[in-house]
C-alpha cells in the first residue's frame, strides 16, 4: 500500500539538499499505486510532482503546495529480441536506480549504456531528459517507454519515434501528460563497448574515436572522469552536492555562430576559437562550460553560501547552509554574465519547481 505523509521536507530527496516541504508526500512501490496516487491527486485538484531520485531537480525554499508522488517501483527483466535481432530487450521499472542498472548491464555483457555510468537518479527520469554523457544518449538504447497517459486515462506504450527525442529533451519534458512506468532498452550482447564517440573519453582510454573497448574498461574510464569532475555522488565531497550539469550546451544557428565568433574575437583576441560540434540542420553546438569560464566564472567561484564546483564549471553546488534562493542567484549571475560577454543565453538543465531564472 502506498504510504502517505504530510509536510515532508524535500531537501532530503534531492542531491542538492535544497527545497522546502511537500504538503503531501506519497511513496508508491507498484505501478497501480503510482497511477492511483497521481490520478487521485489530479482528481482532487491538487498540483502533482512526480519525484524520482531528485538528481535533476531544484525545489523552491517554500516547498511544493501539492502532492509529491515518489516513484519507488522495482524490477528488471531481460528477454530475447525479435528473431534475427542482435540485441536483447531489457525492461526496467521507473523506480530502479540508474547507476546500479548500468553496472548490472555491464556485468552481464550488455552494451549500449556503459558511457552513462555514474549518473545519479532513477531510471524513469532518463527518457524525459534524454540523459546523455561522453558521447552516448539514453535514447540511443531505448526501444520503447510504457507510460500512463493522464489525458487519455490509460496505460500506453510509445516506441522510440513517438518519444520524439532531442538533445536533452523528449515528448515527456515540459509536460505532465505522461507518467513513465517502465523503459525498455535494446542492448547488444557484447564484450566490447559501443564505439567511443567522445574525444576526452577516447584519450583517457588510449584509443581513437570510433574504436570499441572492453565494456568494463569503458565504464571505469567514465567513472574516473566523472569523479574527477565531482559528478559521482560522494557524501564526503561537497562538490557532488549538485544537480549535475546546471546548463545545457547551447545549440546555435548560423547567425548566432557568426555573432559568437565576433564576440569571442573581441573579448579573447583574433586567434581565439570556441568549441564547435556540428548538429543537424546546419546548426552548431558549443560548450556551456567554456562560455562560463571565459565569461569569468571559473571553478570554485563563490557567491555567498553557494559556488561553482571546484572540479567542474557546469556544476553549481551547495557546500552546506545554503537556500534555493542562493543557488538561483548564482545561476542568474552566470546566465547574465555569459549573455553580456557572448550574446548566448544559457538554459537550465535541471527541472525547476516553484523557481525560475
How far apart, in whole angstroms, are the C-alpha atoms of residue 1 and residue 229?
40
* Structural contact between residues 328 and 355, judged by C-beta atoms closer than 8 angstroms: yes
* Annotated catalytic residue 287: no
* Annotated catalytic residue 203: no
| Catalytic hit among 33, 99, 114, 349 | 349
| Catalytic hit among 168, 241, 307, 335 | 168
Cα–Cα distances (Å) from 315 to 230, 248, 288, 323, in that order, read 8, 11, 11, 16
| Catalytic hit among 245, 303, 307, 323 | 245
User: What length does the chain have?
Assistant: 357
Cα–Cα distances (Å) from 118 to 109, 228, 289, 326, in that order, read 18, 12, 20, 27
* Structural contact between residues 231 and 240, judged by C-beta atoms closer than 8 angstroms: yes
* Annotated catalytic residue 245: yes
How far apart, in whole angstroms, are the C-alpha atoms of residue 51 and residue 19?
13
Run of H or E residues at 66: strand 64-71
Residues identified as active-site: 168, 245, 349
Amino acid at each position: 500500500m502506498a504510504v502517505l505523509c504530510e509536510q515532508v521536507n524535500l531537501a532530503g530527496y534531492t542531491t542538492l539538499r535544497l527545497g522546502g516541504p511537500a504538503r503531501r508526500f506519497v511513496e508508491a512501490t507498484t505501478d497501480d499505486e503510482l497511477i492511483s496516487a497521481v490520478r487521485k491527486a489530479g482528481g482532487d485538484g491538487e498540483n502533482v510532482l512526480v519525484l524520482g531520485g531528485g538528481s535533476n531537480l531544484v525545489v523552491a525554499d517554500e516547498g511544493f503546495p501539492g502532492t509529491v508522488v515518489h516513484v519507488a517501483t522495482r524490477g528488471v527483466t531481460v528477454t530475447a529480441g525479435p528473431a534475427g535481432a542482435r540485441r536483447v530487450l531489457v525492461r526496467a521499472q521507473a523506480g530502479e536506480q540508474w547507476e546500479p542498472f548500468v553496472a548490472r548491464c555491464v556485468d552481464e555483457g550488455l552494451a549500449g549504456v556503459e558511457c552513462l555510468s555514474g549518473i545519479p537518479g532513477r531510471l524513469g527520469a532518463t527518457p524525459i531528459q534524454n540523459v546523455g554523457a561522453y558521447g552516448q544518449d539514453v535514447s540511443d538504447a531505448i526501444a520503447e517507454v510504457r507510460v500512463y497517459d493522464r489525458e487519455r486515462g490509460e496505460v500506453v506504450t510509445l516506441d522510440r519515434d513517438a518519444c520524439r527525442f532531442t538533445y536533452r529533451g523528449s515528448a515527456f519534458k515540459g509536460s505532465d501528460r505522461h507518467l513513465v512506468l517502465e523503459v525498455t532498452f535494446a542492448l547488444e550482447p557484447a564484450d566490447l563497448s559501443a564505439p567511443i564517440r567522445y574525444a576526452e573519453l577516447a584519450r583517457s582510454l588510449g584509443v581513437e574515436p570510433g574504436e570499441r573497448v572492453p565494456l568494463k574498461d569503458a565504464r571505469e574510464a567514465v567513472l574516473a572522469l566523472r569523479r574527477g569532475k565531482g559528478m559521482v555522488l560522494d557524501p564526503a565531497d561537497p562538490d557532488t552536492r549538485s544537480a549535475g550539469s546546471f546548463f545545457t550546451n547551447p545549440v546555435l544557428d548560423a547567425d548566432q555562430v557568426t555573432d559568437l565568433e565576433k564576440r569571442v574575437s573581441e573579448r579573447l583576441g583574433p586567434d581565439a576559437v570556441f568549441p564547435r560540434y556540428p548538429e543537424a540542420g546546419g546548426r552548431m553546438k558549443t560548450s556551456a562550460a567554456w562560455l562560463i569560464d571565459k565569461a569569468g566564472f571559473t571553478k570554485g567561484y563563490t557567491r555567498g553560501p553557494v559556488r561553482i564546483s571546484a572540479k567542474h564549471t557546469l556544476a553549481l553546488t551547495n557546500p552546506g547552509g545554503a537556500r534555493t534562493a542562493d543557488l538561483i542567484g548564482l545561476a542568474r549571475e552566470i546566465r547574465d554574465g555569459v549573455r553580456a560577454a557572448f550574446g548566448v543565453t544559457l538554459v537550465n538543465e535541471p527541472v525547476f519547481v516553484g523557481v525560475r531564472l
